[in-house]
Amino acid sequence: MSESAEPNQKLVSPPSPSPDDDTELPQHNSPPPISYSTDPIWSDVIPIPQQEGPFPVVRIAYTNEFREVHDYLRALLKSNEVSERALSLTKHAVSLNPANYTTWQYRRLILKNLKCDLQEELVFNAEVIEKHPKNYQVWFHRQKLTEWIGLPGQEFEFTAECLEDDTKNYHVWQYRQWLLEKFPSYYKAELEFVDSLIKNDVRNNSAWNQRYFVLSKTSEFTVELVRREVEYTKLCIRLSLHNESPWNYLRGILNGQDLALHLEVKAWILETISKRKPSIYAYSILIDICELQIEEGDVTALSEALSYCSILREGMDVIRKEFWAYTGDRLSGLVVSSKQ
Amino acid sequence: MSILFFSLSGMDLLGALDKCQDKQQIVDWIYSTMLSDKKSLKTGFRGFNIGSDFSSIGSPEFCPFDSGHLAMTYTALASLLVLGDNLSRVDRESTARAVGSLQNEDGSFLSSLDGGECDMRYVYCACCICFMIDDWRFVDANKVAEFVRRSVSFDFSIGQGPFLEGHGGSTFCGLASLALMGRLDQCLGAKLKERLKKWCVFRQVTGFHGRPNKRVDTCYSFWVGGALKLLDANNLMSREDLIEFLFTTESDVTGGFSKWAGHMADPLHSYMAVSGLSLLEYPGVKPVDVMLNISSEAV
């Protein structure tokens, strides 16, 4: 190692072959491909150890590889080096700890300054996502790359593939919503995509949320649209009466609509549960509709609501018996206060 | 820093902090992660000392990428309170300015000045920090409340941001943020509060899950249990079912709790189980301050 290197001097290494094999992601716990301390390419860098003080707290048993990589990373962070070797080092570092937001941030600075091929970076990022699909930093990095590229590329296809592995991955859905806002021409095809996911798994709450998101961004919630969605949701409910998601969606799209529409839906629910084993969600929404009736002056709906609360409290939904008792009392209170 | 917080606060809730013999040294270590440039908008605590020399009054900026991070600042300040520190080494005004500088136009917060995600987690961390240092001057509380309100989902839960799926964790973060600002009732109104209560109680299967049709997980005993507490509705869940579930996730090999039965215990789930039990007033566990998620005694 060179002893003459000034720690604060900006170092840019001359063009040289990268010491790392960039096609292989270094594996954690396997022997490092190189030792930075013996590699002449790194001889001018004085590694900086982590300063834990005289009484380290929550000491982590770092591997030698981890320690060495981050000692060198600290040195390059301090000098703010922008170079191919720095890029390579950050790749090694994020493979060992993809949650280190500073490393990803530094990598982004280098990528930008070296004008790197961002498509290649997306490929690398995808490899990390495959190993760590629920990591916040990797998805933020991907979003930044796409922002810089300014085009959707294959990102919709990529997120669709990720959702095949985990249909409810929050990060994927969040990124996909960002993509749609960024490239709104893709909203056209999104409802069909969401529909295919719901058809595949009617219990996919994330897909139901996406449905509401797409409609909110592309349409007005007119009575016609709400009626269409009610019919769609009824079909899904029929497939899976004891599935909370479509019931929540139904209540959500009815929110703010006239009592008359609510009463139509109520009639359908009552008919449905008369023929099949009722679900707690059916009774729950019936109680909500009764509450709306009470609010609009129909106090006769109270006894009906109380009967549903009893059914739930006394057998169908015992785990929530306190809630149903409370709900009955609350609705009774509504009627009392409306009479005053 | 997060692991330290879970450990210390967990020990505190279990009345075992006296087993921690080196409190002052831990306090000094926490302060050593503090960025000590009093005029810098990067003021705050980091997860660990990135490379500066150790100092118990904090260290200067190590490199251009060195800055405080909202989650680390929250857990650092919370840990200091648990250890009985009076935060005298914290430059409250600089910290408050730094938090304010991270607020976006829409009311949400970046995690740190150099960028990062900005979701309900960081709204919560920002509000906790302002509450603990008692300085809200540089935060636009109206915008925070507006961001939370806009993040209420069609199913009357709260997502990580507007239009994102409602989730137990973000529902807690949103509610706690409003509570820390003293604006929960004002922002939500009675009707929405009732709908939120319903969404929360419907997260109970045996234990709690975080979203409809997802698997139950230990940590939601605090996230959803805490949300119910904030809504004055934690008596509406089934205490017995939750306790029974929690103890299925306790490890009889290592101690601690895991997210599911049969999994390895980890600090986060262990802590959330303990604070979840505290909300249930389980014997042997101290009361937790539901807004800050540390013992009421420490606040």
- Please tell me the distance in Å from A20's CA to the nearest CA on chain B: 24
Chain centroid to Cα B280, Å, comes to 18
Catalytic residues of A, by residue number, are 134
- Please tell me the distance in Å from A38's CA to the nearest CA on chain B: 22
| Residue B37 vs residue A280, higher pLDDT | A280
- Please tell me the distance in Å from B57's CA to the nearest CA on chain A: 12
Percent of chain A with pLDDT over 70: 90
d(CA B12, CA B79) in angstroms, rounded, equals 10
pLDDT grade, residue A33 (50/70/90)?
A: low
- What are the C-alpha distances in Å from B132 to residues A314, B104, B108, B122, B128? 45, 21, 19, 15, 6
d(CA A32, CA B289) in angstroms, rounded, equals 46
Minimum CA–CA partner of A109 in chain B: B65
Choose, out of A100, A198, A209, the residue to mutate when testing the contact with B (most B CBs < 10 Å): A209
Residue A12 has pLDDT above 60, yes or no: no
Question: In B, which residues are within 8 Å of A106 by CB distance?
Answer: 65
Interior angle at CA A296, CA A294 and CA A302, nearest 5: 10
pLDDT grade, residue A28 (50/70/90)?
A: very low
The answer to whether B32 and A53 have CB atoms below 8 angstroms apart is yes
Q: pLDDT value at position A10?
A: 34
Mean pLDDT in consecutive groups of 10 residues from the start of chain B, 299 residues? 94 93 90 80 75 76 81 95 94 92 95 86 97 97 98 98 98 98 96 98 97 96 98 96 95 92 93 96 96 95
Residue A34 has pLDDT above 80, yes or no: no
d(CA A283, CA A316) in angstroms, rounded, equals 10
What's the mean pLDDT in A182-198? 97
Question: Within the 56-85 window of chain B, which residues sit less than 8 Å (CB to CB) from chain A?
Answer: 56, 62-66, 69
Residue B244 forms contact with A (CB below 8 Å) = no
Burial of residue A234, with CB atoms counted within 10 A of its CB: 0-12 exposed, 13-18 middle, 19 or more buried? middle
Q: Name every residue whose Cβ is closer than 8 Å to that of residue A127 and which is 6 or more positions away in sequence.
A: A25
Q: pLDDT value at position A31?
A: 47
Nearest-10 Cα torsion for A124, A126, A127, A130? 170
In this prediction the pTM is 0.92
Residue B7 forms contact with A (CB below 8 Å) = yes
pLDDT grade, residue A9 (50/70/90)?
A: very low
SS3 A216: helix
Question: In A, which residues are within 8 Å of B160 by CB distance?
Answer: 170, 174
d(CA B21, CA A244) in angstroms, rounded, equals 50
Minimum CA–CA partner of A212 in chain B: B154
pLDDT grade, residue A51 (50/70/90)?
A: confident
Q: pLDDT value at position A27?
A: 45
Please state the φ and ψ torsions of residue A59, each to the nearest 5 degrees: -70, 130
Q: pLDDT value at position B52?
A: 73
Percent of chain A with pLDDT over 90: 83
Residue B138 forms contact with A (CB below 8 Å) = no
Q: pLDDT value at position A3?
A: 30
